[in-house]
Structure 1
């Protein structure tokens, strides 16, 4: 059985096996190996171990197993550092010549081999590229033998590195496994959205991790009930609506709309399901859930539903539990008292004294007299022949018309029954039957009732001396004018 040690190189997608051959290389050592291109320096990523002939054949096929020459010395490490600096300086030259030649390629890197025999230029391209002139220019500029190597987009991502959607380092860079084909069927089997931006990696191809869990999803769906399958439960029939493959759980929607998650291992298969699997020679899928499984669920809704089911079946007595009155304390409800009510209560308290009682009685008596006087004034309507009219009526006539009533007011006589006085009603355009006038009078009456003024009522009830004097003056003025007119006629006759 050969002893091999895995070694990782800079521009290799995965580690390569080399014959240990007593070199003493251990994990983490830099080693010098003999490859098909010459001597190269790499990193041992594991200790040496023995493998069988079958494992070796599966790994390298018919290729020859190369050996490890030695563990890298300090001088070898210094030389590798200088070659790495030359490789970094040669990459801009490679890109500049590729752009000048207008070649459809993407330069990836330049590597100086450890023995210095040649320089390897890595690039990626979708189609075959004629780079003969590019090789001549690079050889003339770098003074080295040039070897062009085309790699795929997945290998480019493995060489450059980066981070994926999960926030971890790219799988091809971290694991260095062989690239296996990935199809869109794997994404469908795992119920992933068929969106290219979500299932594609940094390289633009389908993510390599789609293949890692494909077998687990395929195995779980082969054992679990199919979607929309009918499941028998103590709470009625349910339907499979969702899978949770990492936890191996299925989501069941019950008749009341509640969704419960049941582990696949807790579900059972009925006799009808077993008989069907034997007839069609297929896997037996569970199709029922027992009561013990539902009782183990940490769901208050399910527990209440089971208790209600037992109550309907008569297993639980429907007795209301006794309530201890000491557990509940009723606090009296406090009512908010307005400030006006507080003042009224204070007045009532103060009115309990004899002096306050007499004062309040006098106030009530005066208010009753004022109210009776106001009611008599408003009920009495002036006669059209009267020369004196209340001030309220004159004020209403002098009031200018509003925006809506720009026309002149129309005064019409309202027919009354015999034996009653005729009342004039002032109507304005848009006023139906003097409703506006009546509303104004009622509002003014309410205001006067609230704040009675005795002097004003007295003035309205009897005409003042000044009004009487003014009337007499107008009469004397008319008499003087008639006398003057008569004297003028006499003069003209003479």
Structure 2
């Protein structure tokens, strides 16, 4: 069945969700009111309407745009923002009073004010039952405490990266993909934690942007430690440069030679002790910090 749908985003850099337009004439950038699992919500059209073929089973979960947002809806949004500020300040005060080992990141008030969600980070589990009791007494709505990771914290707070640009996670990333030290190593980057870590303390997400390209370029280059023959002589590969498609050869104890990939005549068997003995690290950084304990 063909259905006219549009893509709706509820906050900056959040995921885009598809909704039935319900016959409304919508354009990208329009604000609309929709029904979600969180209740009535205000969202913005990120993808203009288009026709999509859906199976009957898929239609069951497809929600519909209720209407375009009006002035009263924006007034309600402003009231929600004020309630969030009040809830954040009160929760922060209670956390300090109760001596809880947790860091409050943000407070969210649902658009229909039916529920408050408090986002926090903590090194371990936190017994916040007394905190919830006090929050419910102060705000007579449903209360949820949601623990998040440090990368989600950076996404919610925002900031600037070492490149001077706004954080990718806050600007356009909709999810976090695993990042490993091997990605930095493949791109010949310094493995100094301060050089390749983001403001969240984890490896920078941008390490994965060009990793596949570097891997493709490197596949056509002789491996480090390989003894090769060129028109200018023989040598052992001690460094690869994927971008220029060249390798650096150790000809003898004092001489090095940089040659292009096409200048390598033959790859000879045997190694001269330049084996790449660094560990193959593929640990996901969603939960672990690979630099913990290092100076």
TM bracket, shorter-chain basis: 0.7 to 0.9
What's the C-alpha RMSD, in Å, of the aligned pairs? 3.2
CA distance 1:199–1:115, change in 2 (3 Å):
same
2:169 pairs with 172, 179, 182, which one? 172
TM-score by length of 2: 0.76
> 1:434-458 CA distances to partner (integer Å, 9 max, x unpaired)?
xxxxxxxxxxxxxxxxxxxxxxxxx
What's the CA shift for 1:93?
A: 0.9
Matching residue of 2:147? 150
Would you say how many aligned residue pairs link Structure 1 and Structure 2? 266
| Native 8 Å contact 2:80 2:111 kept in 1 | yes
Correspondence 1:17-416 to 2 at 5 A:
17-51=18-52, 64-251=61-248, 257=255, 259-260=257-258, 262=260, 264=261, 267=262, 270=265
Alpha-carbon offset, residue 131 of structure 1: 1.9
Distance 1:3 1:104, change over 3 A: farther
Deviations 1:106-126 (CA, angstroms, capped at 9, x unpaired): 111122221222222222223
Instruction: Indicate the SS of the match to 1:107.
Output: strand
Q: CA deviation at 1:3?
A: 4.1
The alignment's TM-score, normalised by the length of structure 1, stands at: 0.48
- Give the drift of 1:206: 1.9
Name whichever structure is richer in strand by fraction.
2
Unaligned runs of 5+ in 2: 270-295
Superposed displacement of residue 268, structure 1: 5.7
Structure 1 alignment gaps of length 5 or more: 277-494
Q: Tell me the CA shift for residue 156 of structure 1.
A: 1.3
Q: Structure 1 24/133 Cα, relative in aligned 2: closer, same or farther at 3 Å?
A: farther
Higher Cα Rg, which structure? 1
Whether the 8 Å contact between 2:94 and 2:131 is mirrored in structure 1 is: yes
Which protein, 1 or 2, shows the higher relative CO under an 8 Å CA cutoff with sep ≥ 6?
2
SS in structure 2 at match of 1:147: strand
Deviates more, 1:100-109 or 1:122-131: 122-131
CA distance in 1, matches of 2:209, 2:65: 33
Deviations 1:199-247 (A, max 9, x none): 2212122221222222222222221112254444444345544333334
Sort the Cα spacing of 1:127 and 1:258 in 2 relative to 1 into closer, same or farther, 3 A: closer
